[in-house]
Amino acid sequence: MTNSTVEITFYGRGGQGAVTAAQIIAQAAIKRGLFASSFPEYGAERRGAPVRAYVRLSREPVLAREPIEKPNISVVFDTRLLSIFNIPAITRDYIVVNASSKDEVRQELTGFSGRVIYVNAYEIATKHLGKPIVNTTMLGALLKVLDLLDLETVKELVMETFGKKLGKANTEALEEAYKAAEVIM
């Protein structure tokens, strides 16, 4: 996907790492010589509460600071958030979604006119991290459609963010999700 500015919204629940994922993508863009901004929006600040994090990536300075109303890409950490935020109605191009099955995604996103990228991020994260914290796993799936960034740059940022031991497990989850993510609609 190449536009002058790409707007991405991460939809997660407190504790899933949506804010961290958004920050990593913005930092990776800056490392690649692009311009980026990233900021979160919280509801009730507690584990499990819905969270949004916004990212703008561009080859030109990013001046906008308001929340993104119609993202090019929505990255959805939990399918229950699809209806809470009416994600199919507001997303322009891609929905990258974590779900336990392709059938669940197809059922939830019938009628969406863009493309849908599916990954079972819970399964991959649990395998590598021992818990279903899906931020790096969802980054792997996002990279299937975000051609402004490459896997190696994001892996470097994941290592910097999480340190040696956790970074290794997170980069393994990221790589597996990148390979496993599928365009299903």
CATH number of the domain to which 27 belongs: 3.40.920.10
CB–CB of 98/134 below 8 Å?
yes
| pLDDT string in tens for the chain (185-residue length) | 445 899 999 999 988 999 999 999 999 999 999 999 999 987 656 677 889 999 999 999 998 889 999 999 999 999 999 999 999 999 999 999 999 999 989 988 988 999 999 999 999 999 999 999 999 999 999 999 998 999 999 999 999 999 999 999 999 999 999 999 999 98
Quote the domain boundaries for residue 150.
Answer: 5-183
- Return the C-alpha torsion angle 157, 158, 164, 166, nearest 10: 170
pLDDT number for residue 6? 97
pTM of structure:
0.94
Report d(CA 136, CA 9) in Å as an integer: 15
List residues bridging with 6 in a β-sheet: 57
pLDDT number for residue 43? 62
Total structural domains within the chain: 1
pLDDT number for residue 158? 97
